[in-house]
Amino acid sequence: MDYPIVPCGDSAVTILLGNEISPAVNRLVFAAFSALQRDLVSGVREIVPTYGTLCVHYDPERIGYSQLCAWIRSVSDADGGGVRSQGKLIRIPVCYGGEYGPDLVHVAEHAGLSPEDVIRRHSQREYLVYMLGFLPGFAYLGEMDERIACPRLAAPRTHIQAGSVGIAGQQTGIYPLSSPGGWQLIGRTPETLFSLKEKEASFLLSAGDRVCFFPITPEEYREREARL
Amino acid sequence: MIRILDPGLLTTVQDGGRYGYQRFGVPVCGAMDAQALAMANLLVGNKPDEGALEITALGPTIRFETENIFALAGADFSPTRNGVPLKTGHAWLAHPGDILECGAAKGGFRGYIAFSGGLNVPFLMESKSTCLSARFGGFHGRALQKNDLIEFSAPQYWLKGLSRREILPTYDLSAPVRVVLGPQADAFSGEGIETFFSAGYRVGHSSDRMGCRLEGPEICLKQGVSPNILSDGIAMGSIQVPNGQPIVMMADRQTTGGYVKLGCVITADLPLMAQRRPGDTVRFQQVTVEEAQRLLADSRRKLCNLQDDLEHNGNW
């Protein structure tokens, strides 16, 4: 691959694959990520995909800057954008509104729609996981229907339950952990996005995956929660 | 086992950091000053990146419930054992009932207390480091509190040349902190970059383990360039400039960020950043990646020599 490579200090480089949020650029990122992971060399600590870049963290004592760049250039991502590059499709149940989505009505009013319309527009499309960041297991999803975009809360909440599904501007996302936050909460999923059992961590989503939301009732929410 | 009698300002368990999970949004965490962590560990015969207590500004008071060898490194917290002053940068054997009391940091801001054989806290995602933002790792995912009891993994009662296991601290906090340009250095005006490398910046009081917030002359972007970018990856030491003022991203930084980065502090100089106190001034100097990697190799070689001396002569 012959994308530009720029240093991030002495222990990381950024590979620039594109400078826009688009499925096409995401496919390039995902293809390059998969190709590099397949051909990993010693000294590479980890590779972090983002919207249009890969950040390659390395140990300069085991691989120098020029060797690292040479390795990246030598790896072929010839299947870039091919079907093989697509991630998993993950269906996520969401209980919209009520106690789980206290801001659904506000989001609906802001959009001039009914709450049912907001739910329909939010759950009737496939989202791409562009990248993870912010918190363990937090996925940056795109694209949300512009009609249901809504500014953040003026005063952030001090405590938001894990699994809460929110809207902030043009973005939608799921809080993987309980945390403070200013997103408009429209629902909650009983699924676990980030868990630590014993010593192993598991993450529901990875960059390159696709996500669909589907509405469930509060009874179904509690049933699923009890099963987990 | 140790009992925390007074936790001090911010005492957490940290090791060399949690690598391999940044693509899932998990911050690396780990010691702010990896070199001081390594020294504390080497003094007690541990591997350099073993988990230890990172102490900040005002150190803790600890009672040893059982015997073990320990050492402090990093800033000088004027430690005493049962009221008798102890040297920082030296290994000691503690007996049950011994009370280690730390004061305020001098000649730096952070220190490390390492215990022979390490601390018995869970090894989560291959690390003992505390992740304060997501509340896991280390000791129950949080800073230590009064009456916390932490067990040792494999305490030792004897180490070769114990009385001579000493490393003299070598911070030069007046030296400039060296920086490699990129990845968005081209977003800044020539004047902006010159300002950054010629002015002094003061460490702000809201600095923490996530970032060292600096205050000083505004660093200008090129005409019409926004400080916002599509989020990309962040290495430790990255210098984000969200509003003309630089923030050096440190151990607890998020894995990705959406602001332009002028450059990145070289690994060999991260300890100098970690040891700066709020109110201190810092100056920056530009170096190439190759130079940065040579300087890192030098500092690691020095550490290896220290380790050899401790293990073979015990009289460094």
- Cα A161 from Cα B250, distance rounded (Å): 28
What's the confidence (pLDDT) of residue A117?
A: 97
End-to-end CA distance of chain A, in Å? 43
Tell me whether residue B308 is in a domain.
no
8 Å CB contact between B276 and B173: yes
What's the confidence (pLDDT) of residue B172?
A: 87
Tell me whether residue B211 is in a domain.
yes
Hey, are the CB atoms on A132 and B292 less than 8 Å from each other?
Answer: no
Options 3.40.250.10, 1.10.10.10, 3.40.50.720, 3.30.1360.40; CATH for A5-85 is 3.30.1360.40
CA torsion sign for A175, A181, A184, A187 is: positive
pLDDT (tens digit, 9 = 90+) per residue, A118-147?
Answer: 999 999 999 999 999 989 999 999 999 999
Same domain for B153 and B249, yes or no, is: no
Within the 166-205 window of chain B, which residues sit less than 8 Å (CB to CB) from chain A?
180-183
Tell me whether residue B24 is in a domain.
yes
Same domain for B17 and B150, yes or no, is: yes
What's the confidence (pLDDT) of residue B316?
A: 42
Same domain for B156 and B37, yes or no, is: yes
Radius of gyration, CA atoms only, chain B: 20
Hey, are the CB atoms on A7 and B180 less than 8 Å from each other?
Answer: yes
Hey, are the CB atoms on A9 and B21 less than 8 Å from each other?
Answer: no
What's the confidence (pLDDT) of residue A80?
A: 56
Same domain for B117 and B220, yes or no, is: no
What's the confidence (pLDDT) of residue A227?
A: 85
Same domain for B95 and B187, yes or no, is: no
Tell me whether residue B50 is in a domain.
yes
Same domain for B84 and B217, yes or no, is: no
Q: How far does B121 lie from chain A, in Å, by closest CA?
A: 11
Same domain for B11 and B141, yes or no, is: yes
Hey, are the CB atoms on B183 and A6 less than 8 Å from each other?
Answer: yes
Domain residues for B206? 177-293
Q: Residue A85: is its pLDDT beyond 60?
A: no
* From B22, B234, B296, residue closest to A46, measured CB to CB: B22
B135 close to A (CB below 8 A): yes
Tell me whether residue B193 is in a domain.
yes
Domain residue ranges of chain A, discontinuous segments joined by +: 5-85, 89-227
What's the confidence (pLDDT) of residue B311?
A: 83
Q: For each successive 10 residues of chain B (316 residues), what is the average pLDDT?
A: 98 98 97 97 97 98 98 97 97 98 96 98 96 96 98 95 84 92 96 97 96 97 94 97 96 95 98 96 98 96 90 61
Reported CATH class of domain A89-227: mainly beta
Out of B100, B130, B164, pick the residue that ends a domain: B164
Out of B137, B164, B191, pick the residue that ends a domain: B164
Q: How far does A221 lie from chain B, in Å, by closest CA?
A: 25
Same domain for B51 and B155, yes or no, is: yes
Same domain for B18 and B143, yes or no, is: yes
Within the 70-129 window of chain A, which residues sit less than 8 Å (CB to CB) from chain B?
none
Residue numbers in B near A19 (CB within 8 A): 230
Q: How far does B84 lie from chain A, in Å, by closest CA?
A: 40
Q: How many CA atoms lie within 13 A of B130 on its CB side?
A: 23
| Long-range contacts (CB closer than 8 Å, 24 or more residues apart) made by A118-124 | A118/A148, A118/A186, A119/A186, A119/A187, A119/A215, A121/A145, A121/A147, A121/A148, A122/A94, A122/A96, A122/A148, A122/A167, A122/A172, A122/A186, A122/A213, A123/A94, A123/A96, A123/A212, A123/A213, A123/A214, A123/A215
Out of B164, B198, B226, pick the residue that ends a domain: B164
Looking at the 3D structure of chain B, how many domains does it have? 2
User: What's the burial of A195, exposed, middle or buried (CB within 10 Å: 0-12/13-18/19+)?
Assistant: middle
What's the confidence (pLDDT) of residue B145?
A: 98
pLDDT (tens digit, 9 = 90+) per residue, A169-196?
Answer: 999 999 999 988 899 999 999 999 999 8
What's the confidence (pLDDT) of residue A69?
A: 98
Same domain for B119 and B209, yes or no, is: no
CATH number of the domain enclosing B192: 2.40.100.10
B20 close to A (CB below 8 A): yes
Same domain for B55 and B151, yes or no, is: yes
Residue numbers in B near A132 (CB within 8 A): 23-25, 255
Same domain for B205 and B283, yes or no, is: yes
Tell me whether residue B58 is in a domain.
yes
